[in-house]
Amino acid sequence: MAGESDIRTGIYVGGRWLAGHSGRSFESFNPADRDEALGTLASGDAADVEAAVQASKAAYPAWAATPVPRRADHILRVGLGLERRKEELARLMTREMGKTLRETRADIQEAIDFAFYMAGEGRRFFGQTMPSELPGKFSMTLRAPIGVVGAITPWNFPIAIPMWKLAPALLAGNTVVFKPPTDTALCAVELVAEFIETGLPDGVLNLVTGSGAEAGEALVNHPDVRAISFTGSLDVGRHIATQCAQAMKRVSLELGGKNCLIVMPDADMELAVEAAAWGAFATAGQRCTATSRILVHEKVKAAFTERLLARVARMKAGDGLDPDVEIAPVINEAQCVTVLDYIEIGKAEGARLLTGGTRLTEGGLEKGSFIAPTVFDAVSPTMRIAQEEIFGPVTALIDFADLDEAIAIANGTNYGLSASIYTRDITATFEAISRLEFGVVYVNAPTIGAEVQLPFGGTKCTGNGHREAGPQALDEFTEWKAVSVDFSGRLQRAQMDEE
């Protein structure tokens, strides 16, 4: 391990910023202007992960023995620190991730809200008491930490999603090695700096920037890491699940989505159009909850489509620091190519391109990774663009004849994260709530917009059953311990008849 550094290098281990084992580095760029390099960070490898895990392991006993309300105090103060720096960090995030300033402020606010919420759980770290079947015996349950946790996060919510993992993991008494994406590593550095400012003991939280192939793989496979929390793509999630299964390691996965917004004939049309445009094209469609399918009743399909196209035509693309911009760049050139490839797939499958479908390179956008907001029509539910997560500013219009057909189409993918229905009909509302196979269901609200007090996660290939946010977030990072105290003064045998 190379020596200690005087600057925030991206590798923070055992209370020190380090230059990294390999000496290699990478740069963070502005996706709205690829000529703008924002900073250089160390490219961590397996040796850096080893050092981080050992620091976490050494810090674990004392941290696990720290009273939960005291652990919660650190989380609270991180929220206060983010609150003080909200505008500064939002501007950094817009430059590093690309989404609009309005959205990055919301990203920071979500992290603040969750820090405050989870700090409150420090005095609500409840177990349960329950009666024993035997006299003179007391039974209860307690939450216990797991050990060293690896947190691997995506680039689309560079501070909110890490906070969803770090806050409950640390509150529960675990120590953490945090591996952020290289695309938004500067935001991760600033978040860790806020934890450091609270006086968090050395080794409790460690940071290793670097690639998933090196740092991420080493973290997943380290024998001393007892749990992995990962948010990202389905393919990578499957790989991580396989690796963790071999080691009998706790793993929590929040993966992709193929989310839908259902527009019934009695819907408030203007509201539904606004929700569809916002859900499909906010963050350039780079949300796991993005509205990538819009299911519209055949009676209102023509009117809805006309209004949607008019709304999309008014969306301005550009640098997210411009307050008038609604269409941000996609994160990097590789993602740009992926999205454009999917657009070509849609056309080849026979879908009709109504608007967009091209890269934007004029009006000052030539140095960024911009794609015009894209709407397809005449989409069959079985087409790849209606089945696979694109993670870009692309949505598909699909018509239906009745609610039963809409629900069948909505449920007809491998994913089950977020669904929305716009209707004034109480029967349709509760039929949708009951029958939609999604972890998050909205009525007369967009598919995007999670709130911190509600559990977040999905069904089927969206994840493996865990939930982030809400009180359920603690389940991801704790073990349940059943405790019984026999004060009868004699040996009692459960389930056996008394002689």
**41: exposed, middle or buried (Cβ count in 10 Å: 0-12, 13-18, 19+):** buried
10 Å CB burial of residue 26 (0-12, 13-18, 19+) is middle
Distance separating alpha carbons of residues 339 and 31, to the nearest angstrom: 15
Phi/psi of residue 207, nearest 5 degrees = -125, 135
Active-site option among 187, 288, 336, 461 = 288
Does residue 288 have an active-site annotation? yes
Q: Given 50, 214, 254, 326, which residue is catalytic?
A: 254
CA–CA separation, 102 and 417 (whole Å): 24
Gap between the Cα atoms of 193 and 162, Å rounded: 13
Cβ pair 308, 354 in contact under 8 A: no
Helices (H), 66-184: 68-84, 86-97, 101-120, 160-171
User: Which DSSP helix (H) or strand (E) runs through 57?
Assistant: helix 46-65
Closest CA to 186 of 7, 321, 23, 323: 7
User: What residue has token string 């029958």?
Assistant: 435
Please compute, for residue 473, the number of CA atoms within 13 A of its CA located in the half-sphere on the CB side: 29
Structure tokens at 369: 């990774």
Contacts of 288 (CB under 8 A, 6+ apart): 156, 231, 254, 255, 256, 257, 389, 417, 418, 462
Sheet holding 259-263, edge to edge: 352-355, 374-377, 394-400, 291-297, 259-263, 418-422, 440-443
The SS3 call for residue 30 is strand
What is the spatial distance between Cα 97 and Cα 146, in angstroms, rounded to a whole number? 32
In this structure, are residues 278 and 326 in contact, taking their beta carbons and an 8 Å threshold? no
Query: What token pair was written down for 443?
Result: 């009525």
CA–CA separation, 444 and 263 (whole Å): 9
- Give alpha helix (H) positions in 314-425: 333-349, 403-411
Pairing of strands 459-460, 440-443: unpaired
3-state secondary structure of 370: coil
What residues are annotated to the active site? 254, 288
